[in-house]
C-alpha cells in the first residue's frame, strides 16, 4: 500500500471511530424508558411509555422522604406499557421508571380537587306553594288557597254575590250568580261584566234599580275569614285606557263577629282597586276612622303603585296587630301602623269586577264584556 492510500485508509478509520463514538451515547439514551402521564381522576394518573430495550419489565418507584420506594412492577408488550398510579390531589410527585437498569424520572403535578358544591338550600313550601317570610325571618303558613285548576267554582270556598250593584246612575251592573259572569276555565277564575238583552233589577244606592248590565263578584262569606296574616292574589284585568271599568281585591269584616261600629269606622281593606280611568295604577285603600280626613296618601291610601292594565299583576297585604303593608308586584306601596280597632277582627276575602263610578263612570267607550282573570288567591298566617 503506498503512502497516499495508507493515509486515506487511516483517515477513514478515524472518521468511522468518530461516528461510532457520537452514536454510542444516543443509543444508550434510547434504552431508558420514555414516559408520560395524564390525569384520570381526582386521586390517580395513568402513566404510559415505551421501553428502550427488549426487556418487558418496568419498575416504578416513588420518591418520598429521603429515598425511593417501590410502587409497582408492570410488563411491557412490544416495548409499550401503561398503568394507573394513585396520586394525592394537590400534590407534586416524582416517579422513577426503570427498565434494563436504565431509568427515567417523571414529575407529576396533580391539581387540587374541586371543593364539593353543596346542594342548594331547599325552598320551603306548603299547600300555598313557596312560603314567604315575615319581617322577623320566620315563615308564613298557608291557611287558604285556590289555584282555580278545575272547571267550576269551588263553592266550599266561594260564594257568588247576588244582592247589590256596581256603577253609578245610568250605568249600574247587578251582580249575578251566572256562569256568564262567574266561571272557572283555563286555570283562572273569570269575573266579567256584560250587557244582557232583558233588564234585571237589584238594590243600589238605597233603591231598586233596573239595568241591562250584570257583573261577577265572589267572596269567602261564612266560609273563610282570618285575623292577621298575608293575603295575595295574581290578577289580570281588561286592557283599556278609557273610563268605565272597576276591579277590586279586598277584605271585609266577618259579620259573625259582633260590632257596633258602622262603615267606614268598622273597617275595610282594599288590597287593590283598579280603575280604567287610571290604566297604570293599583290603588290600595284602608277604610277606618282616618276616612274622616279623606284620602291620605301614605296613611290610608297610595297613588303611586304601578300596575298596568291587561297584564298579570300580583297584589299582597301583610297584616299584624301593629302594621299593615300593601305590595304590588313585590314592591311595598303602603304602610299603616295605626293599630286601629277596625283591624282587630277577622276579615273575609272578596273579588269584584264591575262598572265604575265617581269620575270613572261607564260612558259606553270601555270594552264590554270586560273580564277580570284571577290566577290564584292565597292566605297565610
Domains, the chain, in order of start with CATH, read: 32-109 (2.60.40.10), 125-380 (2.60.120.200)
Q: With contact defined as beta carbons under 8 Å apart, do 173 and 166 qualify?
A: yes
CA–CA distance from 370 to each of 136, 244, 354, 362 (Å)?
Answer: 41, 10, 9, 12
Altogether, the residues listed in the chain come to a count of 381
| Rounded distance between C-alpha atoms, residue 54 and residue 31, angstroms | 9
Q: Give me the pLDDT at residue 56, please.
A: 86
The strand pair at 229-236 and 313-320 is best described as antiparallel
Global pTM reads: 0.72
Using alpha carbons only, what angle is made at residue 319 by residues 311 and 246, rounded to the nearest 5 degrees? 35
Write down the residue that cell numbers 425511593 correspond to: 68
- Cell output for 207: 233603591
The answer to whether the Cα torsion of 69, 71, 73, 76 is positive or negative is negative
| Rounded distance between C-alpha atoms, residue 364 and residue 213, angstroms | 12
| Rounded distance between C-alpha atoms, residue 229 and residue 324, angstroms | 10
Q: With contact defined as beta carbons under 8 Å apart, do 165 and 200 qualify?
A: no
CA nearest to 164, candidates 223, 233, 278, 252: 252
The strand pair at 207-215 and 171-175 is best described as parallel
> 372 phi and psi, to 5 degrees?
-105, 115
Judging by beta carbons within 10 Å of its beta carbon (0-12, 13-18, 19+), is residue 100 exposed, middle or buried? middle
Q: How far apart are the first and last CA of the chain?
A: 121
Please count the other Cβ atoms lying within 10 Å of the Cβ belonging to residue 352: 22
Q: What's the distance, CA 380 to chain centroid?
A: 19
Judging by beta carbons within 10 Å of its beta carbon (0-12, 13-18, 19+), is residue 242 exposed, middle or buried? middle
| Rounded distance between C-alpha atoms, residue 309 and residue 176, angstroms | 24
- 23: which strand partners? none
Using alpha carbons only, what angle is made at residue 167 by residues 163 and 173, rounded to the nearest 5 degrees? 50
- Cell output for 377: 288567591
- Give pLDDT < 70 ranges for the chain: 1-30
Q: Give me the pLDDT at residue 120, please.
A: 86
Please count the other Cβ atoms lying within 10 Å of the Cβ belonging to residue 56: 15
| Rounded distance between C-alpha atoms, residue 299 and residue 236, angstroms | 26
Amino acid at each position: 500500500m503506498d503512502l497516499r492510500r495508507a493515509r486515506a485508509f487511516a483517515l477513514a478509520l478515524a472518521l468511522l471511530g468518530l461516528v461510532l463514538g457520537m452514536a454510542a451515547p444516543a443509543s444508550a439514551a434510547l434504552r431508558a424508558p420514555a414516559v408520560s402521564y395524564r390525569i384520570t381522576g381526582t386521586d390517580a394518573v395513568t402513566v404510559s411509555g415505551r421501553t428502550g430495550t427488549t426487556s418487558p419489565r418496568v419498575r416504578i418507584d416513588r420518591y418520598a422522604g429521603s429515598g425511593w420506594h417501590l410502587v409497582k412492577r408492570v410488563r411491557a408488550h412490544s416495548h409499550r406499557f401503561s398503568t394507573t398510579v394513585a396520586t394525592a390531589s394537590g400534590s407534586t410527585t416524582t416517579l422513577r421508571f426503570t427498565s434494563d437498569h436504565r431509568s427515567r424520572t417523571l414529575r407529576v403535578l396533580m391539581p387540587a380537587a374541586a371543593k364539593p358544591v353543596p346542594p342548594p338550600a331547599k325552598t320551603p313550601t306548603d299547600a300555598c306553594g313557596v312560603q314567604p317570610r315575615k319581617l322577623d325571618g320566620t315563615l308564613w303558613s298557608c291557611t287558604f288557597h285556590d289555584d282555580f285548576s278545575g272547571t267550576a267554582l269551588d263553592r266550599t270556598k266561594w260564594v257568588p254575590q247576588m244582592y247589590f250593584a256596581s256603577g253609578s246612575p245610568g250605568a249600574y251592573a247587578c251582580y249575578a250568580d251566572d256562569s256568564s259572569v262567574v266561571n272557572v276555565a283555563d286555570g283562572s277564575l273569570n269575573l266579567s261584566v256584560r250587557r244582557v238583552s232583558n233588564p234585571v233589577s237589584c238594590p243600589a244606592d238605597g233603591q231598586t234599580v233596573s239595568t241591562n248590565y250584570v257583573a261577577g263578584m265572589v267572596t269567602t262569606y261564612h266560609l273563610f275569614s282570618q285575623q292577621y296574616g298575608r293575603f295575595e292574589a295574581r290578577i289580570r284585568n281588561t286592557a283599556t285606557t278609557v273610563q268605565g271599568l272597576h276591579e277590586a281585591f279586598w277584605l271585609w269584616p266577618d259579620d259573625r263577629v259582633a260590632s257596633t261600629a258602622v262603615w267606614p269606622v268598622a273597617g275595610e281593606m282594599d288590597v287593590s282597586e283598579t280603575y280604567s280611568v287610571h290604566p297604570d295604577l293599583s290603588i290600595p285603600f284602608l277604610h277606618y276612622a282616618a276616612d274622616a280626613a279623606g284620602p291620605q296618601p301614605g296613611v290610608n291610601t297610595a297613588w303611586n303603585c304601578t300596575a298596568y292594565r291587561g297584564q298579570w299583576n300580583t297584589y299582597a297585604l301583610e297584616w299584624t296587630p301593629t302594621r299593615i303593608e300593601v305590595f304590588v308586584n313585590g314592591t311595598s306601596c303602603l304602610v299603616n301602623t295605626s293599630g286601629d280597632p277596625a283591624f282587630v277582627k277577622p276579615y273575609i276575602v272578596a273579588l269584584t269586577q264591575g262598572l265604575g263610578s265617581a269620575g270613572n263612570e261607564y260612558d259606553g267607550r270601555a270594552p264590554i264584556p270586560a273580564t277580570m282573570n284571577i290566577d290564584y288567591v292565597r292566605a297565610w298566617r
